[in-house]
Amino acid sequence: MSSTAKVFVGILSVAAFAKAALYSNTTKFNHTCAIKPTIQSCSIAALDLANLDTCCTETYGGQLLSTQFWDTYTGREDEGQLLPKKHWTLHGLWPDYCNGSYPQYCDLSRQYDREPPHEVNGQRVQPYNGTGVDTFIKDWDRYDLLDWMNKFWVSQGQPSADFWAHEFSKHATCYSTFDVPCYGPKYRQHEEMIDFFDTAVSFYRNLPTYDWLAAEGIVPSNKTQYSLKNITAALKKHYGAVPYLGCYGEQYSQVQGSKNTSDHGLTVLSEVWYFSYANGRPQDGNVTHIDSTAPSSCAHTDGAIWYYERTPSSERPVHHK
């Protein structure tokens, strides 16, 4: 990448912090995406900022990642924070850069994370200590969305609403298409947050990981291990592109009786990331699925992966998707 481009990006970051908008020249007016061309994020046309509407084409983080978790417990069962049976849970919808690295906390005036990093791009980040973002959803009278999020967007070790706040401030503030000026002169506070939650939910609902794996005979088990290759193939069959799979736990090479001491990949399946480009606004859901650009953290040896059953008392049945 040329040094001119780097300087350009540096200026944008400063503008993001100072002006609370990703591009200081974005006005509140005339973002009628329905009458503008549908441009694919990360395409050549998406680089031509002077001739497109950054509210209608994703130009900041053009590589979208719809991400999910497989946890076996929440650590907050006593508070009623339970996992949805036969479903992975929603993690987020991230706007990575087209080259695979990613921006974060792009607008500190919309910082709702209670445990943010100490600093980002040399800027000190204040931990948020106000009312939870669940109250913003209530202020918008979106109790149905809130119920859904409590069922399917479930965190581990922290209240789910704190996790939604983290996802919003870390990632959603880095989308050109969810930027505040895009919502026009009658913008109401948190409008873009509700829109982001809606969009993350609609992406997730098109990606039934549990069902896709089960259809290929891959179901949670505390007795049988699976192969990364088989899990990947099962998901590719349904998604049409290769997702990223994330694992934690012991390295395969460290496991007692390991058959493959050179495989340092991890052995407990816990995450999936589905990659796509947005054709027009992510909100409108027209996406092109693409292969993951990130190497899996999971062990590659046949039969090395645990896809654990959940602790029964950590789950509840859910009656709608």
Cα torsion 111, 117, 119, 121: sign: negative
SS3 breakdown of the chain: % helix, strand, coil, rounded to 5?
35, 15, 50
Residue among 110 and 146 whose Cβ is closer to ligand NAG: 110
> Among candidates 249, 270, 266, which has minimal Cα distance to 301?
266
> Can you name the residues that pair with 61 across neighbouring β-strands?
none
Nearest to 193 by CA among 128, 279, 250: 128
The minimum distance between CB 201 and ligand NAG, in angstroms, equals 20
Instruction: Tell whether residue 230 is a contact of ligand NAG (CB under 6 A).
Output: yes
Give the residue among 208, 211, 238, 236 at the shortest CA–CA distance from 296.
236
DSSP H stretches of helix in the chain: 3-19, 133-139, 143-152, 160-170, 191-205, 209-215, 228-239
Residue number of the CB atom closest to ligand NAG: 279
Q: Which residue has the tokens 């407990």?
A: 268
Q: Is 58 a catalytic residue?
A: no
Asked whether position 105 contacts ligand NAG by CB under 6 A, the answer is no
Q: Which is nearer to ligand NAG, 12 or 294 (CB)?
A: 12
The DSSP element (H or E) to which 290 belongs, if any, is strand 287-290
Residue tagged active-site, from 171, 190, 271, 315: 171
Q: Which part of the chain contacts ligand NAG (CB under 6 A), choosing from 79-87, 154-162, 190-198, 308-316?
A: 308-316
> Sign (positive/negative) of CA torsion 7, 13, 18, 19?
positive
Least CB distance to ligand NAG at residue 142 (A): 26
Q: Which of 7, 14, 18, 25 binds ligand NAG (CB under 6 A)?
A: 25
Contacts with ligand NAG, 241-260, as mask; x by CB under 6 A: -------------------x
Instruction: Name residues whose C-beta falls within 8 Å of residue 157's C-beta, 6 or more positions apart in sequence.
Output: 74, 75, 76
Establish if 222 lies at the interface with ligand NAG (CB under 6 A): yes
Minimum distance, C-beta of residue 185 to ligand NAG, in the bound complex (Å): 10
91 is catalytic: yes
Catalytic residues: 91, 167, 171
- Residues in contact with ligand NAG by CB under 6 A are 1, 9, 12, 23, 25, 27, 29-30, 38, 40, 49-50, 72, 97, 99, 101, 126, 129, 222, 226-227, 230, 260, 262-263, 265, 279, 286, 300-303, 308-309, 311-312
